[in-house]
Amino acid sequence: MLSTARAAARAARPLHRNVFSVPGAMMNDPARNSFPMSALEDHKTQVLLLRGDSDTIGKEATTALSQVLHAANVPISFVTPKVDLQIDGGVTQEVVDLFSETRVAVKGPYFTPISSKSESLNIQIRRTFDLFANVVHAYNMPGVHTRHKGVDIVMIRENTEGEYSGLEHSVVPGVVESLKIITEEKSMRIAQYAFQYALANNRKKVTAVHKANIMKSADGLFLECCRTVANKYPFIHFESMIVDNTCMQLASRPQQFDVMVMPNLYGNIVTGIATGLVGGPGLVPGVNVGMCGAVFEQGSRHAAKSLAGRGVANPTATILSGALMLRYLKMNDHADRIEKAVTTLFRETNYRTRDMVLDDSHKDLSTQDFTKAVIDHLETS
C-alpha cells in the first residue's frame, strides 16, 4: 500500500504533467514557435493529421478530437496528406515535408497484418522522424471503476531500436534469425530523457525494466546506461526490475511504480498491461517525442480493428492526447478545459462507450454521442 503522504502527493498532482519540459522535446527551442507563413492560416497553428487506416478506429477517434477542438475554439488547423499512407505503402515525401513544416502531428493507428512482409507504418513514422521516446501516462480516471486505486504511472519507452529493428532473415529453411539492436547512444538518450522527465515533473522514482539476467550483453548495456545516468540524479530514487517480475508486480501492486524506462518490446508489453489496469486502451493518452517534433496518439496504439466503422469506438484516449498536444503548443488553458470536460463527464454521469459499460447502470453511447457529451461538458466547464 502507498503511504498516506505519498498517496496524498499523488492525488494533488494534475492529471497530465508537462511531458515536454525535457531536452528532445523542443519546448525551449525558439523554432518551436517560429512557423513559416505557409504554416499559418488565419492565425491558427497547423498540425499534421494522420487518421490511420480504414481497418482501425483512427478516423472515428481523430474526427471526435477535431470536433472537440472546434467546439472549444482552439486555434488549430489540421492538414492532411493528399495520398493515404496505407495505399501509398509508406511515409511519403509529402508527409516528410508537412511534418518538417508543422513539427506536430496527431495520428490514428495503422494496422499491421501478421502476414504482411512490409514494415509497419507505425514504425516507419517513428523511425523516419527519429521519435525516440514514447511517453504513456496511465492513471485512474475519476468515476471509472478499476480493481486498483492510486495508479499513476508514466512509461517511457525507447522507440527506435531493440527487437523492433526489423532485422530478420532466414538462415536455412525452418530457421529464422531476428536481431535485437541495443546501442549505448540510444540507451543513454532514453535514460537521460526519463530522469529529466522525472525531475521536471516532481517524480520521485525511476524504474529501469530489463532482462539483463539472460540477455547479458544487450540488456546489460541498457541497464548499465540507466545506472550511469541515475548517478547524476542522486535525489531521484532508482531501481531496476526484470521484465517478467515487472509484469507480475504491475498486476498485483501497480502503485509502487512512478516513472518506468525500458527498451522497445518491453515497453509495448508493459504499457498494454498498464492501460488495462486503469480502464482499457480507450482511456490512455500517449505521445512520441523527438528532436524534430512530436506525434500524439492513443497510448496503447491499439488498432481496435473489430470496432472500425461501427460507431462504437472510445475516443477518450485520442481526445486526451489532443490535450497533451495543446500543452506542447503552450495552449494550457485550452488543454485544461478539455481535460476537465472529460473527467467531469466520467465522474458525474453514467455515459460510457461500449468498451466501458459494466452493467445496466451505464448508458451505452455511440462514438458520436459520447463526443457530443464531452462537448456539452466543455461548454459548462
Give the domain CATH number at 250.
3.40.50.2300
Whether the predicted pLDDT of 126 surpasses 90: no
How many Å separate Cα 116 from the centre of its chain? 25
Report whether 32 contacts 103 (CB < 8 A): yes
The pLDDT value given to residue 202? 93
191 in any annotated domain:
yes
Q: Do 314 and 373 have their domain in common? A: yes
Helix (H, G, I), strand (E, B) or coil at 32: helix
The pLDDT value given to residue 16? 46
The one-character DSSP state at 13 is S
The one-character DSSP state at 308 is T
Report whether 301 contacts 36 (CB < 8 A): no
Q: Do 201 and 217 have their domain in common? A: yes
Q: Is 252 exposed, middle or buried (0-12, 13-18, 19+ CB in 10 A)?
A: exposed
251 in any annotated domain:
yes
Q: Do 103 and 181 have their domain in common? A: no
Q: Do 154 and 260 have their domain in common? A: yes
CA–CA distance, 64 with 111 (Å, rounded to integer): 20
Q: Do 302 and 184 have their domain in common? A: no
User: Band of the pLDDT at 379, cuts 50, 70, 90?
Assistant: confident
Q: Do 300 and 354 have their domain in common? A: yes
Q: Do 251 and 292 have their domain in common? A: no
CA–CA distance, 204 with 253 (Å, rounded to integer): 17
**What is the rounded average pLDDT for all residues in the chain?**
85
Joined together, the cell numbers standing for residue 211 give 532482462
Beta-sheet pairing, 152-158 with 259-262: parallel
CA-angle at 259, arms to 254 and 313, nearest 5°: 70
Give the domain extent around 335.
42-139+280-380
Residue at which a domain ends, from 248, 278, 308: 278
CA–CA distance, 66 with 87 (Å, rounded to integer): 23
Residue 68's domain is classified under what CATH number?
A: 3.40.718.10
Average pLDDT in the 223-245 region? 98
pTM of the model: 0.86
Average pLDDT in the 118-133 region? 84
Whether the predicted pLDDT of 27 surpasses 60: no
User: Band of the pLDDT at 6, cuts 50, 70, 90?
Assistant: very low
Whether the predicted pLDDT of 258 surpasses 70: yes
Average pLDDT in the 281-286 region? 93
Per the structure, the count of domains in the chain is 2
Report whether 353 contacts 282 (CB < 8 A): yes
35 in any annotated domain:
no
